[in-house]
Amino acid sequence: MSTTGQKPSPQAASTARMVLDECMADGACVEAIIARLALRFETGVDAAELADVALEMNSADLRKRDSLERIADLLRHRPDIFATLRETGAAVRHERDEWETDAAVVRRLAAGFDAAATISPAASVQLSSLGDEEKLTAATDEIVAWLGRQGFTGRDQDMLDIGCGIGRFESALSDAAHRIVGIDISLEMISVARRRCAGLRNVDLRPTSGFDLADFSNASFDCVLAVDSFPYLVLAGLAERYFEEIERVLKPSGIAALLNYSYRGSSALDRADVHRLAEAHGMQVMVDGEKPFRLWDGNAFLLAASDGTLRRNDCSGIK
């Protein structure tokens, strides 16, 4: 039974079952499912009540049943983790008010990420890390390995990381690049990133306005990385501007990795937008919204400058 001795309302229980079903159908890992529950139920439902819902689902599928039991176990025995995820997730609102200007959205997001990074640096950049640095490192390493297979890394490569957060990719990629510039609208995240990357001479971490890449000259980067940053550019109405800017700062043979385009919940809509914007700005879509990661539930888009060729380190092709 829950710690409150109560069951969630029928509506809350139905919503929780829907989230659990959708996540498992999507192949999400247990940690990602916990994160989605934290985002969906910021208040009003006890963690142990959600654990009861998971156990009551009692799937005949052994893998699903195991996942449900693991979810319930974590919710029941580590409510502190779930509380931290709720607080971190609530710091950054993912909706836009009708009256908000693009500038107002960017300012609000910057303040939200400042707050989130103060609550839990690891969870602020990947909620499914559960705030655990080891889990975050494992997920980061998986993404870095995938980037390497796409020809994204190399000791001669100059990289730009849009929305670098706490500098996890700068730290992980510093030995596989000539230079990495990480930018973020959150001063708190940049502060954490600078501490994390202290001593890495080829890493440059800078605050940015969030409106463009005006600090950088044309054709100055071999690779552009954007992990979980485009959803906020979409929210702020700046996605098209950033496609234009990415095209401008990429070298002719450059590539860009957009890992998660939006949080709208429609892969078809994301693919349509990415294809439209890529075509409008002279880029080819080489990886089209795939889910190549086991430890993170993000969608991957890989774009190549239209007058360049995609560099692959994996002779078997894109995975």
Q: Per-residue pLDDT for 260 more than 80? A: yes
Residue 24 has a pLDDT of: 87
Closest residue by Cα to residue 35 from 107, 108, 120: 120
CA 137 to chain centre: 14
Tell me the Ramachandran region of residue 265: left when phi exceeds 0, alpha when psi lies from -120 to 50, beta otherwise: left
Residue 62 has a pLDDT of: 83
pLDDT tens, position by position, 84-106: 999 999 999 999 999 999 999 99
Residue 9 has a pLDDT of: 82
Residue 43 has a pLDDT of: 79
Please state, in angstroms and rounded to a whole number, the distance separating the CA atoms of residues 148 and 145: 5
Please state, in angstroms and rounded to a whole number, the distance separating the CA atoms of residues 48 and 54: 10
Please state, in angstroms and rounded to a whole number, the distance separating the CA atoms of residues 206 and 186: 10
Compute the average pLDDT of residues 252-262: 96
**DSSP states along 105-158:** HHHHHHHHHHHHHHH-HHHHH-GGGTT-HHHHHHHHHHHHHHHHHTT--EEEEE
- Lookup: tokens for 22: 């959708």
The band of 316, judged by pLDDT with boundaries at 50, 70 and 90, is very low
Q: Per-residue pLDDT for 17 more than 60? A: yes
Q: Nearest 5°: phi and psi at 150?
A: -90, 5
Q: Where are the domains of the chain?
A: 10-89, 133-305
pLDDT tens, position by position, 20-42: 998 888 888 999 999 999 999 87
Number of other CB atoms surrounding residue 312 within 10 Å: 14
> Which residues does 319 contact at the CB level (< 8 Å), separation at least 6?
146, 149, 292
pLDDT tens, position by position, 115-144: 999 999 999 999 999 999 999 999 999 999
3-class secondary-structure state, position 52: helix
Compute the average pLDDT of residues 67-84: 94
Tell me, what DSSP letter sits at residue 26? T
Q: Per-residue pLDDT for 4 more than 60? A: no
The band of 82, judged by pLDDT with boundaries at 50, 70 and 90, is very high
The band of 255, judged by pLDDT with boundaries at 50, 70 and 90, is very high
pLDDT tens, position by position, 137-180: 999 999 999 999 999 999 999 999 999 999 999 999 999 999 99
The CATH number given to 133-305 is: 3.40.50.150
Please state, in angstroms and rounded to a whole number, the distance separating the CA atoms of residues 50 and 56: 10
Residue 268 has a pLDDT of: 95
- CA separation (Å) from 218 to 62, 160, 247, 250? 53, 13, 9, 7
Compute the average pLDDT of residues 199-206: 97
Residue 120 has a pLDDT of: 98
Q: Per-residue pLDDT for 5 more than 60? A: no
**DSSP states along 214-279:** TTS-TT-EEEEEEES-HHHHHHTT-HHHHHHHHHHHEEEEEEEEEE---SSS-HHHHHHHHHHHHH
Compute the average pLDDT of residues 283-288: 96
Residue 312 has a pLDDT of: 45
Helix (H) or strand (E) holding 183, with range, is strand 177-184
